[in-house]
Amino acid sequence: MKFLVLNGVNLGRTGMREKGVYGTDTLESINRGLAEFVKAHGHEADFFQSDIEGELCTKIGQAEGVYDGIVLNAGAFTHYSYALRDAIAGVKVPVVEVHMSNVHAREEFRHKSVLTEVCKGEILGFGKNSYYLALESFWL
């Protein structure tokens, strides 16, 4: 199987910002670990991060026929991006929504996701392990 791991706005600064929320691992080190994890299970993954909503939508739209699943941490786009929601709804590739923090234990505006209802599932609150759980969900 082949997966696309997408990270949205501000996640490129993981390991440098709000370490108490997101940890000290950089996105690059998280991605390296994920690449090793999927390879050890006989799969492969590509990684992409952008602070630009349209670039994420484009990647999702290009995923059909290329990827067996998408792991998406949209960051703050989660709470208001109907463009990302429509991109997810417009492809047959299953998407698992991921958050490193427990968004329900944070500010109220983070409690609502406009993406969840068009995703296969949602995993949150387990730090970088949320990504591992999301990937594993595709082959369990």
Q: Is there a catalytic annotation at residue 99?
A: yes
Q: Is there a catalytic annotation at residue 111?
A: no
> Identity (one letter) of the amino acid at 55?
E
Catalytic residue among 22, 67, 131, 132: 22
Q: For residues 60 and 128, give the distance between their C-alpha atoms in angstroms, rounded to a whole number.
A: 22
In sequence order, which residues have a C-beta less than 8 Å from that of residue 17 and are 6 or more positions away? 10
Distances (CA, A) of 65 to 1, 23, 103, 112, 135: 12, 34, 32, 30, 18
Catalytic residue among 67, 82, 99, 111: 99
Q: List residues with catalytic annotation.
A: 22, 99
